[in-house]
A and B are shown apart, each in its own frame.
Chain A
Amino acid sequence: MNLPEGMTLLHAGSVHLAADDSEGPSLVGSRCGGCGLVVFPAMPVCPRCTANGRMGEARIGRTARLYSHAIAHVAPQGFVAPYYQAFVELPEGPRVFTLIGRDVPVAPGQLVDGAEMRLVVEPLADTPEKRRLFTYKYVPVDRQRLVERDRAASGGVATHA
């Protein structure tokens, strides 16, 4: 994917936007050539073995597992409450603070800790200050299935394939 015209990436270099859309975006962290630790964001010194200059680029975090989440009902300038705050655990090791994709309704029960998530790249927030800044967020892989299950459970009709 490419960013739309006139948009910029928050924290340049933190996200790899693959030219081939089938691969999808990834986070850009570091892998230690000494002890193998993977960290995000990238660092020049390994926080585990303290080797300097052995950290190589690592494209990580296409998927993740939801570690914890909460709904914030107050927001700093440029953000709109309510909004999610979350941590995800990447299969490569790091635990990362993240926002949740805008398509996920901000309401209790929409997210489940431990759920499988996937990376999306979208505007930081839908506000004049932040909508031209793009960043990584995560969304549940199975949300569509969950939504349909909930509709079925409540007697509604699932209309999505």
Chain B
Amino acid sequence: MRDVVIAGVGAHATGHFTEKPLKALAHTAIWGALGDAGATPRDVQAAYVGNSLGGLLTGQEGIRGEVVLQHSGIVGIPVVNVENACASATTALRGAWLEVASGAADVALAVGVEKMFVGDTARTIAALAADSELELSDMGMQFTSSYAIHPKINIKARMREYGWTLADLAKPAVKNSFNGSLNPLAHHRKPLSVDDVVNSRVVVDPLTLYMCASISDGAAAALLCSANRASRFQKRPVRLSACVLRSGVYRLPADGRADSAEVVAREAYEKAGVGPEDLDVVELHDAMAPAELMLYERLGLCGPGEGPRLIDEGITTLAGRVPVNPSGGLCSRGHPVGATGLLQIAELVWQLRGEAGPRQIARRPKVALAQNQGGLTLGQESAVYTATILEV
């Protein structure tokens, strides 16, 4: 396998864009990435396009990738459509990485795009539920509930076991809302207090509105090339040291196996030759804010139950030793599900290059981790787990 770098990234702002269809959102991200690298459509030799809900919500069930790429002037190349729930964009990134790493292409594009505002929230919620196995979504299971009570995370049980309070659950949302307030691309830019979060309306107890990622439109893209061609492009290349993808396992009651988020992170650390202590910045999948506390453990950033302390001591804040979700994360930057993985990558590339503006981490990061997951199966884990490591 050849070494692969990211030559350029681009993103559309995340938010509510009534007039913009998928291809308009994607256009901004694609030409953002091309412009960032100083590339043209003719440089792109293969493309992977991630999207999850476009079939159900826009009616464009097939060929979404070809449609958005043609709209942006990219034609006549291998195009692969990727659907992998909330991890669609990272799965697209891995496809583009494989194209370049294998030598099949020298330059490949990964795109993630999602259009969730369709004027009917109940329809969007139902479409999101369809990222679960049918036997679950047919029964009215929702992702919020999956965080509150599902065996894989079971926030209610963690509250009993660790003594976490509602204020503890709110801490990631408070931290990330401050980061998001500094991000011009973020959907929600109001800094929140613990009281704001705890007192917002209950969605699924104990999770309140501000602990939950909202519906968003958005798009992001990354242009990848082989390390030996990086000098063709104008920006400092960012090394894609590991991009690990795994499906979840069928978890049995009293299952002794590590959570799959932990398994993919360990695999990514091993491939990149780094450990959690080497990380300078992390973007992680806080679809529900308290999940960030659990993911700290699973990524090796702290021991059991220590998540709230990492925030109390400022370790994961923007000024801390290992800032987490500098973009604002899924709750503040937004979670347009099929774009989220590449929104994380775009943020980390900007941070590694020192281009993140007012939210730039002062001590310039060198090693970054993106953690993204999605879907829910009868196996009682998420359907998809990913971990990606970037380095400069």
Binding site for B on A (CB under 8 A): 10-11, 14, 37, 41, 47-48, 67-79, 83, 85-87, 89, 93-95, 97-99, 108, 124-125, 135
Contacts and interface: CB of A to CB of B under 8 A. Distances in A.
A97 B141 contact: yes
Interface stretch (B151-159, B163-171, B221-229, B332-340): B151-159
Contact of B138 (A10, A73, A93): A10
Contacts, number: 96
A106 B157 CA distance: 20
B376 to A, nearest CB: 9
Contact of B140 (A67, A68, A69, A83): A83
Contacts of B151: 67-68, 87, 95
A47 to B, nearest CB: 4
24 contacts: A10-B139, A37-B252, A47-B379, A67-B149, A68-B149, A71-B205, A72-B140, A72-B203, A73-B202, A73-B203, A75-B122, A75-B125, A76-B122, A76-B142, A77-B122, A83-B140, A85-B140, A85-B141, A87-B150, A87-B151, A94-B253, A97-B141, A99-B139, A124-B138
A122 B123 CA distance: 25
Interface of B: 122-123, 125-126, 129, 135-142, 144-145, 148-151, 154, 156-157, 201-206, 250, 252-253, 378-380
B139 A98 contact: yes
Nearest to A108: B205
Given A48-B252, A87-B151, A94-B253, 11 more contacts: A68-B156, A70-B145, A70-B204, A71-B202, A72-B145, A73-B203, A77-B123, A86-B149, A97-B139, A124-B138, A125-B140
Contacts of A69: 149
A70 B379 contact: no
A94 B151 CA distance: 12
B378 A74 contact: no
Nearest to B138: A10
Contacts of B206: 70
Which 6 residue pairs of A and B lie closest in terms of their CB atoms, listed nearest first? A47-B250, A68-B149, A85-B145, A76-B126, A70-B148, A77-B126
Contacts of A89: 253
Given A47-B250, A76-B122, A97-B141, A70 B129 contact: no
Given A71-B204, A93-B253, A76 B140 contact: yes
Nearest to A74: B203
B156 A70 contact: yes
B253 A68 contact: no
A93 B140 CA distance: 23
A11 B129 CA distance: 17
B207 to A, nearest CB: 8
B205 A70 contact: yes
